[in-house]
Structure 1
Amino acid sequence: MNLFLVQGFPPKGVKSPDCRALSRLAESFSEEAHVTSYMIARRFSKSLLHDEIASRSWRAFERGEYDSAILQAMKAVEIEVRSASGLEDRDGVKLISSAFAPQKDNKPDCGPLTDKEVNTAEQSGRLQLFAGTYSSYRNPTAHRDFSIDSPEEAIEILMIASHLLRIVDVRKTAIAQEHSVQSVSAEGSEDV
């Protein structure tokens, strides 16, 4: 039996040591669907989430506040994109569009988080993935009543946000390596 649904002691007035009281959470379930949602959510492992998403969203997810968990996850995406790109003066889709702006006409100018090793179609796809996800899930939760009642849907959206942050992590690592190579190259040219 799930320990969050029963208490470790019998209900008041019951003398049987084998009987257990329902927790306040269990008593709040008014329909079988609430129990089902709870059980689905309990099977999802926090370890599957990016650390930043887990730290910002997990508590709300556990409480069944899926819209709040998603809002916090999308805020984490925005904050990490801003930090990694250095574009502190932008927000929302404008930030994402600038951070992942694809190269044009094979010129080196592009967004700071753009992967220059892939073709422009893939660069555009990455931009659209970030912008579309952000617009679809952050804006509704922040600007109007938005309700997600399904733990499955919340899990899927949290996993998408985690994937986006893993992409940002990869880009941060690549950028750090590029800067390291440039520093070594600059030092080498000074020695000549």
Structure 2
Amino acid sequence: MHLVDLIPDSDTLLALSPEELGLAMLPSIEAWKDGAHGIELSRFLSTVFGPGAGNYPSGNRTEISDALREAWAWLEGAALIISAPGLGGIHPNRVLSRRARQLVTGGDPRGTFAVRSLPKMQLFESIREDVWHLFQRGKYDTAVFEAMKAVEIAVREAGGFGPDLVGVGLMSEAFKAGGPLADPDAERGEQVALMNLFQGAIGSFKNPHSHRKVALGPDEAAEILLLATHLLRIVAWRRMMMT
């Protein structure tokens, strides 16, 4: 499996953080290792740029190489790649750690490591770390639940509501005409539409996940997480306007 099979677009690759790119590299590192002897960085780079490796443009090869080296260093620091056993002395060969092997074998690498579907920095700050890592581990339903729970918490705190008001009812009270998060300068129809947006999102994507097992794929989960990000930005904006 070439890296270009997982991240076909070079601009997307270069936009990834070292941890995002490092996670995406794991299936390819595992595929190209030399048995128990593992693979060294220079050999891995040759699988990215060598004959038959794919079609990353040659014009930004240096940038791509630098990004891959940074990601490799992050993988080492995170103990996801470790020294290959049995070679003796200090050597550059690396193999996947137990945790990394669990990540790779736990599901379809194209799904588990679909970093191009959800760039980390696109997520709202309050959910960026925990939710993104859940997504990368393939815990899509949990990631969606946690993101929508964060929306609920943000609405409750911004509106000054107690813990007993939850879910769709909370959204109704917060965004109804005259509610603490309603925009008093908006037309009545716009106020209702915004309330319906929050009601629908929480009712569709948070409450069902708290009562039954829902199997989500990476693309659908990424779309819902970006919706949660948009909702959190709206709450932050309304909170700022209230001060």
TM-score by length of 2: 0.60
- Residue 139 to residue 122, structure 1, CA distance change in 2 (3 Å): same
Out of 146, 168, 173, the position equivalent to 2:214 is: 146
Alpha carbons 1:81, 1:168 under 8 Å: kept: yes
**Where in structure 1 do 4 or more consecutive aligned residues deviate above 3 Å?**
1-4, 12-15, 17-20, 22-31
CA distance in 2: counterparts of 1:69 and 1:80, whole angstroms:
17
TM-align CA RMSD: 2.5
Out of 141, 144, 147, the position equivalent to 1:67 is: 141
CA distance in 1: counterparts of 2:161 and 2:211, whole angstroms:
23
Alpha carbons 1:56, 1:73 under 8 Å: kept: no
1:169 aligns with 2:233: no
CA distance in 2: counterparts of 1:167 and 1:20, whole angstroms:
45
What 5-or-longer segments of structure 1 have no aligned partner? 103-109, 177-192
Out of 166, 177, 183, the position equivalent to 1:91 is: 166
CA distance in 2: counterparts of 1:29 and 1:62, whole angstroms:
11
Alpha carbons 1:53, 1:161 under 8 Å: kept: no
Q: SS in structure 1 opposite 2:213?
A: coil
Number of residues paired by the alignment? 165
CA distance in 2: counterparts of 1:90 and 1:39, whole angstroms:
37
1:45 aligns with 2:124: no
1:78 aligns with 2:152: yes
Following superposition, the deviation at residue 47 of structure 1 comes to 1.2
- 1:10-42 deviations in whole A, cap 9, x for unaligned? 3x4579x686434443466459x7111133236
CA distance in 2: counterparts of 1:152 and 1:53, whole angstroms:
18
Q: SS in structure 1 opposite 2:185?
A: coil
Aligned to 1:130: 198
- Residue 42 to residue 170, structure 1, CA distance change in 2 (3 Å): same
Aligned to 1:114: 182
Q: SS in structure 2 opposite 1:21?
A: strand
TM-score by length of 1: 0.75
CA distance in 2: counterparts of 1:111 and 1:169, whole angstroms:
16
* Matching residue's letter, 2:175: F
CA distance in 1: counterparts of 2:133 and 2:102, whole angstroms:
20
Following superposition, the deviation at residue 59 of structure 1 comes to 2.5
CA distance in 2: counterparts of 1:13 and 1:155, whole angstroms:
41
Aligned to 2:18: none
